Amino acid sequence: MGRFVAFGEIMLRLSPPGRELLLQTPKFDVWTAGAEANVATALACLGHNSAMVSAVPPTPLGDAPVRALRGFGVDTRGIQRREGRMGLYFVMTGAGLRATDVIYDRAGSAFAEAPPDAWDWDGLLAGADRLHLSGITPALGQKGTEAALSAAEAAQARGVPISFDGNYRSRLWEAWDSDPRTTLTRLISKADILFGNHRDISLLLGERFDGDGPDRRREAAEAAFEAFPQLQLIASTARHLDNVDHHRLSARIDARDGAAQTDEVSVAGIVDRIGAGDAFTAGVLHGLRTGQDIDAAARTGLALTCLKHSLPGDASVFGQKDIDAFLAGGFDVRR
């Protein structure tokens, strides 16, 4: 396998301790964050040659996440130091019937303000066998849109496959004069793997699809395959919330010639669900990169996303043994 390269903004996440409200007490837990960085971290922890391309300010706030990523084995040589601020976001973890809430504080960050020609894709994609992007980068503004499109075009021109996670963030898109449907369509037309569900496909195609049941999810996938000839796989999860602390999850991968659907898993006693989708993305990519078929890759993705719910912070840092133990079942102490 070659290098896995992820491109996107690295942020710092600040969360009140436990499940407190914002500034209920004057303390924060701080975590390295960012959807693409989460995927790069999870893959590095699973033994892959994983690299991150981003930009952070030349300050201690920029130093901290770079050190964290490097500590997990991510290649950070593609992370630039640029003037500007560090992107932040705040997460107030919910409980019971109180939902988790997110506040973004990332406008004008060093990454969001970087021009699209700031990136030397000849060097950054050397030896790469995949570029991973998400819908968050273009949602940051016009420069983010141009940067994401430039990265996708560079990968396509060099024959590097692209995986794309829809990661639709309405609060980011709505903060500027954006056209998410047109932008995301241009990006996904260059991808061979899409991480997204029927809602993402509805946005892209301007047609309502229902995700209630495998047959209807297949209908959405077939419409996406028809609209995007380059697309080969669509991976998604279905989440049913009993309350903030108890969810039921299943995973699915659609290919052009068939689909794999897992059973539903009950996930109770949730510690932190933020980043669970990124863990699923990493699990599926890990499975595919190690030669698994779509059925096994769907189960691997589900295992990693379920495990992530047990871990505070944004990134999954589990290894293959953790996935194997999850798939084997059992909750007793392992001695």
CA 255 to each of CA 6, 56, 183, 218, 222: distance values in angstroms, whole numbers, following the listed order: 23, 37, 24, 10, 9
CA distance 281 to 315: 12
| Beta carbons of 238 and 211 less than 8 angstroms apart | yes
Nearest-angstrom CA–CA distance, 290 and 285: 8
Query: What residue spans of the chain are helical by DSSP H?
Result: 35-45, 60-71, 121-124, 136-139, 142-157, 170-173, 180-188, 198-205, 214-227, 276-289, 294-308, 320-328
Would you say 307 and 270 are in contact if contact means Cβ atoms under 8 Å apart?
no
Catalytic residues: 278
12, 32 Cβ separation under 8 angstroms: yes
Largest CA distance in the chain: 56
Task: Give residue 140's region: left, alpha or beta (phi > 0; psi -120 to 50).
Answer: alpha
**Do 298 and 323 touch, CB atoms closer than 8 A?**
no
Cβ pair 144, 167 in contact under 8 A = no
Note whether 216 and 259 are within 8 A (CB).
Answer: no
For residues 205 and 227, the answer to whether their CB atoms sit within 8 Å is: yes
Query: Is residue 133 within 8 Å of residue 38, measured between CB atoms?
Result: no
85, 110 Cβ separation under 8 angstroms: yes
Return the number of other C-beta atoms located less than 10 Å from residue 127's C-beta: 12
